[in-house]
Structure 1
Amino acid sequence: MAAARRMVVVGGDAAGMSAASQARRLRSPDELEIVAFERGDFTSYSACGIPYWVGGSVNARDDLVARTPEKHRERGIDLRMRTEVTQIDVDGSRVRTRDLTEDGGGEEWTGFDELVVATGAKPLRPPLPGIDAPGVHAVQTLEDGQALLDALGGVEDSRKESRQAVVVGAGYIGVEMAESLTVRGYEVTVLDQAEQPMTTLDPDMGALVHDAMCGMGMEVVTGAAVTAVETDGHGRARAVTAGGTSYPADVVVLGLGVAPETSLAREAGLPVGGSGGLLTDLAMRVRGHENIWAGGDCVEVLDLVSGLTRHVALGTHANKHGQVIGANIGGGYATFPGVVGTAVSKVCDLEIARTGLLEAQAREVGLQFVTVTADSTGRAGYLPGAETMRVKMLAERGTGRLLGTQIVGRTGAGKRVDIAAVALTTGLTVEQMIYLDLGYAPPFSPVWDPVLVAARKAAAAVQEERRR
């Protein structure tokens, strides 16, 4: 009997363990040995759920864990925790690892027939004075979330009359953490250097988020570039300086986004793109390497609207990448076609969603377009609780092809973006969208769904441009 091939996985979260699990479904241990290395204490968990754990909506850390190391091992995967991969030797088809446990056994080499790089992303932490001081928290892993909760407990135990938190950055992580801290009773200041919060929206839509956050009691300071974290006599963070103003803080949370964690891959000479993510083909195979694969937050993916590659850090994509990789290593066939850039979030009761291109992104790739905004309600206006949402839509001038949609509103607003995501994926025009057969009943939608109201308005704008 031929010796089993060996699949080595670097990273034990969504992409890596999805790849391992899928490959194991297709190949027995006699055919395929699977060894996975994870430098942390947890596997297969929801990083997206950490703000809700911090805010108290999720009761316990373990609720965020989809599959424990023990469960993976029961499925025939040799999962080695607290083990860091320190080097990838491409020519020698091996990886060097270091045991991080207290009684660790040093470093060793492990050979591979197939290598999966699933090293994820790292929080952005600019090189500013005091940025690494105790009391400054990035929130990327369960360990990060636990450290923040421990710190918040310490602040609460001090029985201060007021508790102040500063969140640096107003992207998805920033606004979600601002909500969590507000729920916990903190006076929250959000600092962002952009014109409006949520730069994943156009500024006019971000302004709606700004107004709503202020209405929830948060102080939102835009156009404010942070220059330093001030520390006290014990070296602990006590304030954040931005625009010449000092904002007091018992705790500082960084929400500046993430970058692909590709330092290992770069050192090994693997190809990376403009945003620093690994470049793969549609099968998630690293370009130029037959037996090296990559997926999750460490890769760049094809944007189906712009035609360019981009870095999109989302657990949904990471799991799909893993499924594709595992299928291909396991002897099947699968591809990952690309993304349209769909994302949804919330801050308190305000729902925020986008898909496709923003105005600046459309201009950057040379597209000509029309934009419209439409206000509508999420249910029939005559029913109690009918609240207004705003839908912004971009359509290509001439063809009418949908290019992007943004939605800001309350109950029922966020997931409506999925209508536009499907339209973008299938290449629908705004004229075609008007006649989509969407579900209707007064508690769920007006006769004309808010997305279709925007599509009608966009179609009219496209037709007007054609007549000129």
Structure 2
Amino acid sequence: MSERLIVIGGDAAGMSAASQARRLKGADELEIVVFERGHFTSFSACGIPYWVSGDVSERDDLIARTPEEHRSRAIDLRMRTEVVEIDVAGGRVRARDLESGAESWTDYDKLVIATGARPIRPPLPGIDAPGVHGVQTLDDGQALIETLGRTEGKRAVVIGAGYIGVEMAEALIKRDYAVTMVNRGDEPMSTLDPDMGALVRTAMCGMGVEIVSGAEVTEIRTGPDGRVNAVVTVDAEYPADVVVLGIGVHPETTLAATAGLPLGKHGGLLTDLAMRVRGQDNIWAGGDCVEVLDLVSGVERHIALGTHANKHGQIIGSGIGGGYATFPGVVGTAVSKVCDLEVARTGLREKEARAAGLQYVTVIIESTSRSGYYPGAAKMTVKMLAERRTGRLLGVQIVGGEGAGKRVDIAAVALTARMTVEQMTALDLGYAPPFSPVWDPVLVAARKAVTAVQQRG
């Protein structure tokens, strides 16, 4: 007799799990049913800002695999169908057809929860007014593009200065909008230390973004037509024809919480190394709805990234299909760009190192992405944190021109291997003038960190 696998969520983690399980087990052994409440599957949410900006011309370029392609692989994919209840004791879910409103129960032998994350929408007056947009799904991107196409004014306010906020500010600049970014923090990109975030602010101001720091939004004001026309803070008011929320996301775990499944302090589901929900034998979870172990600090964090979601799905599908795989954790690597400026980080910021009770040293160096004499060499700044006594690498942040961002991968590997900064100085990295100075900037920072550890240790 075949088993039934139900997957809640048809994007990265959910469809990766379903596809991997199907590779390992045929339809006669495993029936796979996927419920997806949206209009699209397997799409790149990270690419939405570049679609909005026009760098990506077609929406479908962001879709890795369509519903029809999934169905051709013997996956029963039910679009525009939302799971509204999980009955753990009964081994079933209740789903609602969003077009007809009809509801029905479906039994499962195995369940995957891949409900993703939702944009944070603070309970402000006017937050749901026409012209206010979160950006999480292709539907969100389409709605924003339509608003930009029919809005007469050219004033935009971005609330929040994280990855999404910064990328959307650039997208709106490219669409000839006057952009104001309202940020609660002192510097944009709170995933960086403030001294590195200041470099991002300088670059954004240079491309024409007005950045308002230390500002608390109190209201989104609307005009006589009900549409947004201003963002109000404690101290000022900023005219707006369109507002984009870039405040961040929160794990979408309402279903899981109601079903009594375990959540962490960030609101994400807690799983074991095989991505099985803790305390459950037949329920798995992955993607933006889970918390993951930080391998540097040893604490659990919520990090919403497509790279993790796809890995989670592969691991879950392998376990369900009879194989074996684990997800040991992350070091917190992320990379982005603002026009020609590349921004990257991995490991711990100073704030996180202090919270973990670590004593550390920091160093900052300036270098270039190529040999200084080679055409196109771009400036870059590298900040490195190392444990004060042992010299263990704790974190790296990089801000610079073309060729800077992906250098963070060197540090990500070193963090995963728990290398010291002294060990890093011996890394045999590739060198040629078009790609790097003789001493790669990351290794220059490591050398300086070694000296700091010796002096402070």
One fold, TM greater than 0.5? Answer: yes
In 2: Cα distance, 1:436 partner to 1:105 partner: 60
1:267 aligns with 2:263: no
Task: State TM-score, norm by structure 1.
Answer: 0.97
The CA deviation string for residues 368-417 of structure 1, in whole angstroms up to 9 with x for no partner, is 00000000000001122222110000000111000000000111111000
Deviation of residue 20 (structure 1)?
Answer: 0.2
Equivalent residue number for residue 89 of structure 1: 87
Deviation of residue 446 (structure 1)?
Answer: 0.3
Equivalent residue number for residue 108 of structure 1: 104
Deviation of residue 243 (structure 1)?
Answer: 3.2
Task: State TM-score, norm by structure 2.
Answer: 0.99
In 2: Cα distance, 1:409 partner to 1:445 partner: 13
Partner amino acid, structure 2, of 1:91: A
Runs of 4 or more above 3 Å deviation: none
1:417-436 aligned within 5 A: 417-436=408-427
Match of 2:353 among 358, 362, 369: 362
| Aligned-partner SS, 1:193 | coil
Deviation of residue 105 (structure 1)?
Answer: 6.0
1:174-253 aligned within 5 A: 174-253=165-244
Question: How many pairs were matched up?
Answer: 457
Deviation of residue 107 (structure 1)?
Answer: 0.5
Equivalent residue number for residue 123 of structure 1: 119
In 2: Cα distance, 1:96 partner to 1:262 partner: 16
Equivalent residue number for residue 269 of structure 2: 278
1:134 aligns with 2:130: yes
Equivalent residue number for residue 144 of structure 1: 140
| Aligned-partner SS, 1:150 | helix
In 1: Cα distance, 2:381 partner to 2:22 partner: 46
In 2: Cα distance, 1:305 partner to 1:421 partner: 11
Q: Structure 1 regions of 5+ residues with no counterpart? A: none
Match of 1:396 among 387, 407, 431: 387
Match of 1:17 among 15, 18, 31: 15
Equivalent residue number for residue 327 of structure 2: 336
Equivalent residue number for residue 324 of structure 1: 315
The CA deviation string for residues 194-214 of structure 1, in whole angstroms up to 9 with x for no partner, is 011000000000011011100
In 1: Cα distance, 2:4 partner to 2:50 partner: 38
Partner amino acid, structure 2, of 1:355: T
The CA deviation string for residues 426-447 of structure 1, in whole angstroms up to 9 with x for no partner, is 1110000001011100011000
In 2: Cα distance, 1:437 partner to 1:305 partner: 23
Over aligned residue pairs, what C-alpha RMSD do you find? 0.7
1:413 aligns with 2:413: no
Equivalent residue number for residue 38 of structure 1: 36
Partner amino acid, structure 2, of 1:19: A
In 1: Cα distance, 2:2 partner to 2:190 partner: 49
Partner amino acid, structure 2, of 1:45: F
Q: Structure 2 regions of 5+ residues with no counterpart? A: none
